[in-house]
Amino acid sequence: MQTEQVVPIRTPESSFDDEVVTVIGPDGKVRPEADPKLPVEQVLDLYKAMVRTRIIDTQLERLQRQGRIGFHIGSLGEEACIIGSAAAMRPQDWIFPCYREFGALLWRGFPLQSYVDNMFGNAEDVVMGRQMPDHYSGKKYNFGSVSSPIGTQMTQAVGFGWAAKKKGTDTVVSVYFGEGATSSNDFHTGMNFAGVMDAPVIFLCRNNRWAISVPSEKQTASKTFADKGVAYGVPAVRVDGNDFLATYAVVRECVEKSAKGEGPFLVEMLTYRVGGHSTSDDPRAYRASDEVDSWRQTDPLVRGRKHLDTLDAWSDAEDEAFRKDTEAELKACIAAAEEKPKPALSTMFEGVYDETPWHLKEQQEQCENGPRAKEHH
């Protein structure tokens, strides 16, 4: 899958290089030889999941600006590579997220209300308000926990995959990370271990061109990020990450091969982070607006909609109705989340020990009965 190539890093044209797998062209038409030939209903479900993700992203950023939540880290412009790859995983497979993959968790059936509860850190938050917003977890959905340190999820995913292999279970593990994380220790440790141990792990690199304020060309001297698989004996492929059908097709093939014992794979998904790194970031300070505008022309939702038009599978009226329904559902979830109480103080002392030791019991009693500021824990 590796070939000699020189690729421009932060221009939309790089997504259409001959060595990058693409299915949907800019006009919405597919390349028949690369088309995964999904049922129209499934194609529509993927598109709707991307639209839903975009709507949620937009509203959560507004909530943060209004001071109603403290933080949000979104996936604006990256919906296709996240939804397409998540859909390619089988139900029994596990996903280890970075922190932009809430769309993948929702795709797996995680209730929207539970996700919104996490954003507010209320009493029904699955992590009981102990983490920042967007640090969710979904064990029931074979979805690992989000943690902020860059790259740590890769060694965790590889360990999980290796354990599954040793136990003989039919499980493939995927792990998301940005191209900036390829500069982390855990990337090299995870890739090397996976290559040596032939672990069933799919490394999903979202090359969105920016690691906070550091452009991708400052992260590596390699011609591509896929090239990094060569040193570890890990087959690698590059895919147009703004093409949800291409991403699905590539990742699905990797999953099927990995499940047969053909080891790990590295998938470089070429996309672009249209928004800031998070709501704490202002990208205008370090990148040109012209660059962002050029990438907006490759918006995965626009291209996906063009493809649906070629299938005559979706109308403007249906699109508008779906968006309104999604906005209404989200609005109801937000209203419910804001009415819920904060987590009880006692929850800080739960979940670590099977039997709480005496000294923690003393600390819990002092914490619960001691003085504190009004309206705060």
Q: What residues does CATH 3.40.50.970 cover in the chain?
A: 12-343
Identify the three-state secondary structure at position 42.
Answer: helix
Tokens for 357, please give them: 């030791």
Q: What is the pLDDT of residue 2?
A: 43
pLDDT at 246 over 90: yes
Look at strands 210-211 and 214-215 and give their pairing. antiparallel
User: Is there a contact between 52 and 326 (Cβ–Cβ < 8 Å)?
Assistant: yes
Quote the percentage of the chain above a pLDDT of 70: 94
* Mean pLDDT, all residues of the chain: 93
pTM, rounded to two decimals: 0.92
What confidence category does residue 376 fall into, taking pLDDT thresholds of 50, 70 and 90?
A: low
* Over residues 237-263, mean pLDDT: 96
Positions marked active-site: 273, 277, 286
pLDDT tens for 194-207 read: 999 999 999 999 99
pLDDT tens for 304-359 read: 999 999 999 999 999 999 999 999 999 999 999 999 999 998 898 988 899 999 99
Fill in the DSSP letter of residue 254.
Answer: H
Q: What is the pLDDT of residue 6?
A: 33
pLDDT tens for 128-155 read: 999 999 999 999 999 999 988 999 999 9
User: Is there a contact between 246 and 39 (Cβ–Cβ < 8 Å)?
Assistant: no
CA distance 72 to 135: 10
pLDDT at 259 over 80: yes
User: Is there a contact between 242 and 236 (Cβ–Cβ < 8 Å)?
Assistant: no
pLDDT at 240 over 50: yes
Q: What is the pLDDT of residue 14?
A: 54
pLDDT at 38 over 70: yes
**290 burial level (CB within 10 Å; 0-12, 13-18, 19+):** exposed
pLDDT tens for 56-102 read: 999 999 999 999 999 999 999 999 999 999 999 999 999 999 999 99
How many CB atoms neighbour CB 248 within 10 A?
A: 25
At the topology level, CATH places domain 12-343 in: Rossmann fold (3.40.50)
What confidence category does residue 13 fall into, taking pLDDT thresholds of 50, 70 and 90?
A: low
CB proximity list for 89: less than 8 A, separation 6 or greater: 95, 172, 174, 251, 255
How many CB atoms neighbour CB 341 within 10 A?
A: 8
What confidence category does residue 17 fall into, taking pLDDT thresholds of 50, 70 and 90?
A: low
CA distance 23 to 51: 20
